[in-house]
Amino acid sequence: MAGMLRSTIFLAKGLREFTRGGYERAAKRFDDAVMQRSLAGRRAMVTGANQGLGYQTSLELARRGATLYMVCRNEERGREAVERVRRDSGNNDVHLKVCDLASLAAIRGLAEEWLASGQPLDLLVNNAGLMLHERTPSADGYETNFAVNTLGAFALTAALEPALHAAGEPAAGTEAAAAAGGAACVAGGSSGSAAGGARVIFVSSGGQYTEPLEYTEPLEVEDLEAKRWKKFDGTRQYARDKRRQIALAERFSERWAAAGKRTRAYAMHPGWTETEGVKTSIPGFYNSFKNKLRNLQQGCDTTVWLCLEDGSMLEPGAFYLDRQPQAKHLPLAGTSYSSADVDRLGAALEQMAAPALPSS
């Protein structure tokens, strides 16, 4: 019964808010002065960057002057994407990082290379996403949707924490600027102000509304699937992963704040956007709603805005759609969870992600 109610409310909400029309209505209240700010001097990393929302996000950040690192699984497609972004943005400070986010060893390699360079990281956009409809094991033996969407995003964020926190530390002689804060800190580079601390953005999905938070072990293996759905359901697995990403944004932000760090995490929903992934992974949905889907620029608008807006104006751990925090649960949907549940999820992922974390 709860599942049917969730689906009905979700569809009604989606048609009203997640479509191109929903974006166009929301855009009437946007302050686009924020979108004119510069990201010069700030280092940004975008995963799943060779196509779709990841590519468009990369292009928008490069246009605003970011030093950009595009994380792609396939080197050839990644190089082509980097060249297109350089050409179309006029920004040559765009670079490729090859990494299969389904592999903990590959994530560790990427993180060790970055940390060895000594560079801070101002912006991490966990965009890479996967929806496979057949159970496929990752290199580490996890179900591959889970390995990329949940474990990979968690492991990469955790592995890069030293670089993220370094971006939030005041540079020598900038104490006054750190105290002043403000929009100039966001626009001007790796300031140590609250506005200038590093940001991690999880590109989630409205699909998360349809599933509760799964935090008990095993999170992704057959035992759990067999109990709930006799046949593996990639769409539900994806929705569970997207719910977890929202919980991870909460947990990272709370943990960092408690430790006195300036880094913060946010989750966002791009709305129902026309991508190749949507066309191939959920063709029935695409065929039903293709005339209502957002374009790529509309889909990545909130991600780019989260990179540009004053930190003091943002709500750490929130779930954003169209530049505003959203409720994380539908009414009467039965998907609420506690902070203890989120801690259990985090503890399980920490154990799983250990092979990806560089030695201190």
Tell me which of 60-69, 237-246, 248-257, 328-337 is least confident: 328-337
Tell me which of 167-171, 174-178, 259-263 is least confident: 174-178
Residue 182 has pLDDT above 50, yes or no: no
In angstroms, the CA 228 to CA 16 distance is 31
Nearest-CA neighbor of 54 among 357, 304, 290? 304
* pLDDT-derived band at 255, boundaries 50, 70, 90: very high
Give DSSP secondary structure letters for 170-189.
Answer: PPTT-HHHHHH-SHHHHHHS
Residue 359 has pLDDT above 90, yes or no: no
The architecture that CATH gives domain 1-169+195-355 is 3-Layer(aba) Sandwich (3.40)
* pLDDT-derived band at 163, boundaries 50, 70, 90: very high
Residue 152 has pLDDT above 90, yes or no: yes
Tell me which of 6-20, 49-63, 146-160, 171-185 is least confident: 171-185
Output 9 or 259, whichever has higher pLDDT.
259
pLDDT of residue 216: 72
* pLDDT-derived band at 341, boundaries 50, 70, 90: very high
pLDDT of residue 196: 65
Residue in the structure block whose two tokens are 């919980």: 247
Nearest-CA neighbor of 100 among 53, 35, 61, 155? 155
pLDDT of residue 220: 59
* pLDDT-derived band at 266, boundaries 50, 70, 90: very high
Once rounded to an integer, what is the mean pLDDT over residues 30-35? 95
Residue 343 has pLDDT above 70, yes or no: yes
Residue 185 has pLDDT above 70, yes or no: no
Q: Cis (ω within 30 of 0) for the bond into 316? A: no
* pLDDT-derived band at 356, boundaries 50, 70, 90: very high
Tell me which of 3-7, 141-145, 186-190, 337-341 is least confident: 186-190
pLDDT of residue 113: 97
Residue 177 has pLDDT above 80, yes or no: no
pLDDT of residue 5: 73
pLDDT of residue 192: 34
Residue 263 has pLDDT above 90, yes or no: yes
% of the chain residues with pLDDT over 90: 81
- Domains of the chain, by residue range, sit at 1-169+195-355
Tell me which of 64-78, 224-238, 295-309 is least confident: 224-238
pLDDT of residue 175: 41
Interval 203-251: pLDDT, tens: 999 999 999 999 875 565 555 455 554 688 999 999 999 999 999 999 9
pLDDT of residue 332: 85
Q: Which residues are catalytic?
A: 238
pLDDT of residue 226: 53
Tell me which of 140-154, 160-174, 344-358 is least confident: 160-174
Provide the b/e sequence for 90-126 (b: ≥16 CB within 10 Å): ebeebebbbbbbbbbebbbbbbeebbeeeebbbbbbb
Strand partners, 96: 70
Interval 80-109: pLDDT, tens: 999 999 999 999 999 999 999 999 999 999
pLDDT of residue 230: 61
Using alpha carbons, list the distances in angstroms from residue 206 to 57, 80, 93, 268, 349: 19, 30, 33, 9, 23
pLDDT of residue 4: 72
